Amino acid sequence: MTTGQPERGKFITLEGGEGAGKTTQIKSLKNWLNDRNIDVLTTREPGGSEGAEQIRDLLVNGDVARWDAMTETLLHFAARRDHVEKVVKPALEAGKWVISDRFADSTMAYQGYGHGLGIDQIQTIYDTILSSFNTDLTIILDLETEVGLSRAISRSGGEDRYERMDIEFHQRLRQGFLEIAKNAPDRCCVVDAAGDADDVFDQIRAVVQDRLKV
Ligand code: T5A
């Protein structure tokens, strides 16, 4: 018997350090999925809903030291809760696939590893705010920290509070992303982001075909 409900869509996130190429790759992935008759919503964090975009402004602008690590984490999760409840879940339930430029793995990498808040604190907050909700596939774009930062600076249009943090911070979060992938191999996949955009997309397409059976 059919319930008339569309099949739930898939939730894909792209992650990585500054300038890893997420925005560039999300455009290609959306087009490729659309060509396969898959309806796609693209979104981003911090942001993606009206309230979360307002919180984004507090996070990506201003003095590097304006928040301590816990306050910054709670702001990211407040934005995320609004984004998930108002945008991501309704789209998935309507059968759309959702691709988000960053999600909770960024909090684990940036605040957990980068700022040193630690895995357990971030995981406890995650469980409280999002319960069992998680991604179907997370692609982590891995790139030399210095290369990513120089790419990010070349395209920068303000919103550079994180780019101004020191190089050691960016190196810690790169290692953090690699550890996240190692700890969750069924959900995450690391892609080498050093090549040109077409080369990186070839790898991403292969991962999506393999993991999500497109
Ligand atoms: N943050 C976010 C946290 O600290 N905790 C959290 O929980 C969350 C969700 C905002 C900031 O918030 C922090 C992390 C961030 O610092 P953001 O808006 O996603 O997040 O900021 P960035 O990651 O800095 O976004 P960027 O635009 O810099 O990076 P992208 O999207 O990864 O890269 P993209 O595609 O814009 O490319 C950057 C430049 O490189 C070129 C592009 O043309 C562009 O000029 N490029 C390439 N050049 C050569 N070879 C390739 N393969 C290239 N791909 C792209």
- Which atom of ligand 1 is found nearest the CA of 194? 52
Q: What are the φ and ψ backbone dihedral angles of 190, each rounded to 5 degrees?
A: -95, 135
- Those residues whose C-beta lies under 8 Å from the C-beta of residue 74, and which sit 6 or more positions away, are 125
Residue whose CB lies within 8 A of the most ligand 1 atoms, among 80, 139, 155, for a mutation test: 155
pTM of the model: 0.97
Residue 4: its pLDDT value, please? 83
Count other C-beta atoms under 10 Å from residue 202's C-beta. 12
Give residue 175's identity as a one-letter amino acid code. Q
Residue whose CB lies within 8 A of the most ligand 1 atoms, among 14, 22, 83, 108, for a mutation test: 22
All structural domains of the chain with their residue ranges: 11-212
Ligand 1 centroid–CA 1 distance in Å is 45
Residue 157: its pLDDT value, please? 72
Residue whose CB lies within 8 A of the most ligand 1 atoms, among 151, 154, 169, 170, for a mutation test: 151
- Which atom of ligand 1 is found nearest the CA of 152? 28
pLDDT below 50 — which residues of the chain? none
Rounded distance between C-alpha atoms, residue 116 and residue 118, angstroms: 5
Residue 209: its pLDDT value, please? 98
- In this structure, which long-range contacts are made by residues 208-211, counting pairs with CB atoms below 8 Å and at least 24 apart in sequence? 208/12, 208/29, 208/32, 208/33, 208/137, 208/139, 211/137
Nearest-CA neighbor of 19 among 110, 132, 143, 187? 143
Count other C-beta atoms under 10 Å from residue 80's C-beta. 29
E strand or H helix at 213: none
Tokens in use for 62? Answer: 């201003």
Residue 138: its pLDDT value, please? 99
Cβ atoms of 15 and 159 closer than 8 Å:
no
The protein residue whose alpha carbon is closest to atom 4 in ligand 1 is: 110
Residue 156: its pLDDT value, please? 64
Handedness of CA 62, 63, 64, 69 (dihedral sign): negative
The protein residue whose alpha carbon is closest to atom 36 in ligand 1 is: 23
Rounded distance between C-alpha atoms, residue 65 and residue 95, angstroms: 41
Which homologous superfamily does the CATH classification assign to the domain defined by 11-212? P-loop containing nucleotide triphosphate hydrolases (3.40.50.300)
Cβ atoms of 201 and 29 closer than 8 Å:
yes
Nearest-CA neighbor of 137 among 15, 41, 52? 15
The protein residue whose alpha carbon is closest to atom 49 in ligand 1 is: 196
Residue 158: its pLDDT value, please? 80
Give the pLDDT confidence of 6-26 residue by residue, as tens digits: 999 999 999 999 999 999 999
